[in-house]
Structure 1
Amino acid sequence: MKDQLKLSALMRPHWRWWLLSLALGALTLASIMGLLTVSGWFITASALAGLHLASAASFNYFGPAALIRFFAISRTASRYFERLSSHNAILLLLQQLRLWFMRRFLASSVQPDTRSADLLQRLITDIDRLDQWPLRVVAPLFWASLISAGWLCALWFWQTELAQVALMYLLGLLLVPVLGFASGYRRACQLVTLASQRRQELLEPLSALTMLQLHQGWTAAELQWQQIEQQYQKLLWRQQILDLSCQFLLLSGLALMSFHLLIIALPLAAEQQISIAALVAMLMSTLALTELWLPLATLYRHLADSAMAKQRLNQIQPEAPTGTCTGLTGPITLELQQLSVAYPGALQQTTPVNSSLKAGDMLWLQGPSGVGKSTLLSTLAGWLTPVSGRVLLNSKELQLYTASTQREHISLLSQHVSLFNMTLAANLRMARPNASDDELRQVLTDTALSDWLATLPLGLDTELGEYGVAVSGGQARRIALARLLLQNSSILLLDEPLVGLDPDTAHQLIQTLRHRCQQQILIIASHQTLAVDPGCHQLHLKLL
């Protein structure tokens, strides 16, 4: 399906950061190997030179020492910058993931039977767990393959016989991650599922602790959690045993390879085909392979975590549309016939209202807080089903239209606006990606933000900060309104758009909206009293 989560597609816009982190990580590991190799050679060679006074005076101590310092500095610097680049790439990936989910759920709400504890874990824990795919799976495999291949090539040019033996061992060591995958991948997937159930079985009863205790149901809930906890701990113990076994096999294989290479190289050193210092350097470089191969022992677990996180996130599906109508023909009309609304489980509902609107009309919903203005707008947006009565869009019931058609023609500005850690222009272009800068400035003028825009040193390129912390609440609401206007929907539903505005600015904003939305239906819900023109429809909501 085209709406399924694909990490490769989300990582592609920032591929340079990923490539930089991989290159710096490879440089770090190569520097570690070079540091150990040169250090082993230098210590041995200088010790041997010290045994002979004649050679001690002519031995070059400065070149190898400089090379050791170079590898040490290179290791530290590349590790530092690798951490910076990889963390930046991960944060950009998490940003893309959250934007992907936001765009996905702007079209529709999640299924109503999704349990809150499980949904919260999916949206927080599983999204954060996805970073294990590039960091714990792709990167270790890439580094181990690249550095091991380079080490084999160097060994091949130095001593072909040693390289052939090392190649056989490395091919054998590849079987350890394969064995771990075959033995533990399914168990690791079960652990992710059990961890979710464990959290859910703990949080859901705690939210109803009082009622469970009153009705003597807490003991059963506690036993249910204990059973899942026992299964979880049992599987976790088996996974830890498998992790240790794979690590032991990798370490044993590398140690056996070092010993085998030493046995083969000793006769060559006795025949002076290779020096003792070179032999020690070869052994030190072989031992340095441990840092490359040891992360592969738990490769299967990180692969399972990321795969299950992706699967669980893809299971969060927007509610399937129930309508079949896919288009609107003719001038836009909206009729409310004996419409009464309420949120599911609410104790009261609104009194029935009637209204008939056409393009260019404006409806002003008034009433104190809690009377149902936001509920009515959510119903008109298609998010809620009417308790009674009907909503007719171009003479057809709103529920008969598909969700995509509803979102195309109806836009809602809720009381809780969402701004992202991007520039002002990028936040606005989420509504229309191809909007020009002039269009962005015009829509900001229409929402009484032109003076504020003129004070920004970077203008449209100003960063709004995480959650829009760089702007005030009133500015954030008007930025969201400007983004809504860019969608150019047939029906605009504005929930408390005047909050935080002085009366003059509020009156100017309403007049601008009336002028701009002459071909649209404008519905505004507000608890404020504002003088509007006589042609404006007004509804005073009450509760039954």
Structure 2
Amino acid sequence: MTTSGGRAVLGAGLLGGIATASGIALTATSGWLIVRASERPVILMLLTAIVAVRTFGMARPVFRYWERLRSHDVALADLADRRATAYARLIPLTPARLGRRGRADLLTGVVDDLSDVVDAQVRVTVPILSTIVASVLAVIVAALLSPRAGLVVAAMSTVTVAIFVLGWRLETRSQQTLLAARSEVARVTALVAGNASELQAIGAQGQAQSWLVTAHADLRRAAGRQSYGRAAAAGLLLLLTAAGTIAMTAAILPGVGAAISTPVAALLVLMPIALGDAFSTLPDAMRALARSQASAVRLHAMLDQQPAVRAAGVLSLDTQTDPQTDTPSGMPSRILVSDLTAAWAGTAPDVGPLDLEVQRGQHLAITGPNGCGKSTLLAVLARHLDPTGGDYRLGDDDALQLELGQARQVFAVLDDEPHLFASTLRANLQLARPGSADPDLVEAMTNAGLGQWFGDLALGLDTVIGSGGRGVSGGERARLGLARCLVSERPVLLLDEPVAHLDHTTAEAVLGDLTRSTTERSVIMVSHRPDGLAGFDRVIGLSRP
């Protein structure tokens, strides 16, 4: 949070304190007025109290509304800033450090956990500051009227702090379990919803339903255990209110009628009750504090990972467009790796040492068994993973010294399961290059072998695909992924097992469309099967390190 944001939160806490103090004063002054009126004094002697009751009655909602406006304004602004910061921190972590996290887990972190952290400003900081301000004012007023009464109010405030700490500790113990259960519900729900067709095809609906039932049952149990701390704190605060009222009565009773008038005695006796009402917001603040702390731990565990790729490069890529072949802008003259090694974790290399050179516009296929480092090599080339040794150059530039975003702009990456969003065909293709004209999208689909398929769509580019829309086959999904790469106009295509799940005939057709539509681009494809490699300029094999 910025300094100005911190000041805004403090201001909101002060406004909340005034609102809370107004509520306490309203209750106490009303008690004084009722008792004093029962003595039937001249009405003019009650005017000040009457005006005070009206003032406190109006001030309480006005200042509370003002506090809510300020606190929510700063919280929403801070949430927007934190989300932008979180997304920026995710970029160097993608995909190497986030690839093993499910989408539901990732969304829980950057949406729910981040919201819980920011909510602490509204649900924790402001209520606590408001209670502190109101308690201090109550102690001062009570002490001015009666020193003993001031001690009682001060004692109530001190015991409230102890109750808050106790309840917070109880809540903290259960919050990690609750958040883990919430994340599991999101994960299982996303898994079942995203694979509904496949689960139905293999008759596993019953098993999927049992996963959901188990996850929700665990969440209910965790939520039940999590409520113990709040319930204990709420109960103790009620007992404290009763004890404070009794203690106040006992403290001032000897002085009633002498040093303390009867109306003032009524005011003081009602003060612990009004304080108890002010303290009643603390159990919710206590729960929000425990939740925000647990969410912060989960969020930092995700964002504080060591990136798999350095983002410290500042150089610009030296590229030119070939006027004779009209090769795409941004294409390096060559891709060169020398004595390259790389590993996802540890010191043992997952690929290499490897020497490889790909000239501009060349199509290269790399084959080899699972575990030989094919995908690791593509991750290094795409700047998703730093090499552990050797040299990697784009043209004559050291790829590690290039600005990360610019280096990644060279490549379009296509894997074996290109994701299709539940949206229109146009929106799915324009992800690769926002603002692309419709003719460019149609041309890309035609070059990817989808011309006839697209011609049969009644709504054309407005056709909704994905979940809830028109279904697509495995071959159509692979071709749509290829079309998206073509729309991107990236000069180098990196293909990671793009036809791994397709039958031989479909795989041959997809790769044939690929080689025909990318004659002016460099293509590097890794595969463990030999289908469709006839159209590639070179085929090399890798073995396990």
Same fold (TM over 0.5): yes
SS of the residue aligned with 1:539? coil
Identical pairs, percent = 18
Answer yes or no: is 1:407 the counterpart of 2:404. yes
Native 8 Å contact 2:10 2:129 kept in 1: no
- Could you tell me how far apart the structure 2 residues matched to 1:93 and 1:201 are? 31
Native 8 Å contact 1:37 1:281 kept in 2: yes
Distance 1:251 1:307, change over 3 A: same
What is the CA deviation profile of residues 353-400 of structure 1, one whole-angstrom value per residue up to 9, with x for unaligned ones? 8429xxxxxxxxxxxxxxxxxxxxx99863599xxxx983254674xx
- Could you tell me how far apart the structure 2 residues matched to 1:67 and 1:414 are? 72
Gaps of 5+ in 2: 321-331, 338-356, 362-378, 413-429, 440-485, 491-518, 524-531, 536-545
Normalising by structure 1, what TM-score?
Answer: 0.61
Native 8 Å contact 2:317 2:407 kept in 1: no
What residue identity is the alignment partner of 1:104?
R
- Could you tell me how far apart the structure 2 residues matched to 1:284 and 1:407 are? 66
Native 8 Å contact 2:175 2:294 kept in 1: no
Question: Map of 1:384-403 to 2, 5 A cutoff?
Answer: 392-395=393-396, 398=399, 401=400
Native 8 Å contact 1:123 1:313 kept in 2: yes
What is the CA deviation profile of residues 223-276 of structure 1, one whole-angstrom value per residue up to 9, with x for unaligned ones? 34433333322232233243222211101111111122113322311x422111
Native 8 Å contact 1:26 1:147 kept in 2: yes
Question: Map of 1:348-359 to 2, 5 A cutoff?
Answer: 354-355=359-360
Distance 1:170 1:326, change over 3 A: closer
* CA-CA distance at 1:34 after TM superposition: 1.7
Question: Map of 1:488-503 to 2, 5 A cutoff?
Answer: 495=433, 499=437
Normalising by structure 2, what TM-score?
Answer: 0.61
- Could you tell me how far apart the structure 1 residues matched to 2:177 and 2:166 are? 18
Answer yes or no: is 1:69 the counterpart of 2:50. no
Answer yes or no: is 1:43 the counterpart of 2:34. yes
Tell me the equivalent position of 2:540: none
Question: Map of 1:187-198 to 2, 5 A cutoff?
Answer: 187-198=174-185
Tell me the equivalent position of 2:294: 308
> How many residues get paired?
384
SS of the residue aligned with 2:383? coil
- Could you tell me how far apart the structure 1 residues matched to 2:171 and 2:160 are? 17
Distance 1:413 1:275, change over 3 A: farther
Tell me the equivalent position of 2:144: 157
- Could you tell me how far apart the structure 1 residues matched to 2:10 and 2:395 are? 53
* CA-CA distance at 1:281 after TM superposition: 1.0
- Could you tell me how far apart the structure 2 residues matched to 1:498 and 1:329 are? 25
What residue identity is the alignment partner of 1:82?
E
Question: Map of 1:12-23 to 2, 5 A cutoff?
Answer: 12-23=3-14
What residue identity is the alignment partner of 1:272?
A
Distance 1:58 1:96, change over 3 A: closer
Range that drifts further, 254-263 or 125-134: 125-134
- Could you tell me how far apart the structure 1 residues matched to 2:248 and 2:186 are? 50
What residue identity is the alignment partner of 1:392?
R
Native 8 Å contact 2:152 2:248 kept in 1: yes
What is the CA deviation profile of residues 147-189 of structure 1, one whole-angstrom value per residue up to 9, with x for unaligned ones? 2122112222221123223333432332212221233311122
Tell me the equivalent position of 1:144: 131
Native 8 Å contact 1:185 1:300 kept in 2: no
Gaps of 5+ in 1: 1-9, 51-55, 340-351, 357-377, 416-476, 478-493, 502-522, 528-537
Tell me the equivalent position of 1:335: 333
Distance 1:87 1:184, change over 3 A: closer
Distance 1:77 1:170, change over 3 A: closer
Tell me the equivalent position of 2:22: 31
What is the CA deviation profile of residues 325-349 of structure 1, one whole-angstrom value per residue up to 9, with x for unaligned ones? 967699779334599xxxxxxxxxx
Tell me the equivalent position of 2:88: 103
Aligned alpha-carbon RMSD (Å): 4.2
Answer yes or no: is 1:289 the counterpart of 2:260. no
What residue identity is the alignment partner of 1:539?
E
Native 8 Å contact 1:152 1:166 kept in 2: yes
What residue identity is the alignment partner of 2:281?
P
Native 8 Å contact 1:37 1:285 kept in 2: yes
- Could you tell me how far apart the structure 2 residues matched to 1:117 and 1:241 are? 28
Question: Which residue of the other structure, out of 67, 82, 90, is the alignment partner of 1:82?
Answer: 67
- Could you tell me how far apart the structure 2 residues matched to 1:525 and 1:214 are? 35
Distance 1:280 1:126, change over 3 A: same
SS of the residue aligned with 2:360? strand
Tell me the equivalent position of 2:520: 539
What residue identity is the alignment partner of 1:20?
G
Distance 1:60 1:196, change over 3 A: same
Native 8 Å contact 1:413 1:495 kept in 2: no
Tell me the equivalent position of 2:194: 207
SS of the residue aligned with 2:520? strand
Tell me the equivalent position of 1:94: 79
- Could you tell me how far apart the structure 2 residues matched to 1:114 and 1:265 are? 63
- Could you tell me how far apart the structure 2 residues matched to 1:200 and 1:325 are? 34
Distance 1:328 1:184, change over 3 A: closer
Distance 1:219 1:410, change over 3 A: same
What is the CA deviation profile of residues 473-502 of structure 1, one whole-angstrom value per residue up to 9, with x for unaligned ones? xxxx9xxxxxxxxxxxxxxxx95777599x
Native 8 Å contact 2:336 2:395 kept in 1: no
What is the CA deviation profile of residues 293-350 of structure 1, one whole-angstrom value per residue up to 9, with x for unaligned ones? 12222444212211122222223347833579967699779334599xxxxxxxxxxx
Question: Map of 1:97-136 to 2, 5 A cutoff?
Answer: 97-107=82-92, 109-110=94-95, 111-136=98-123
Native 8 Å contact 2:127 2:281 kept in 1: yes
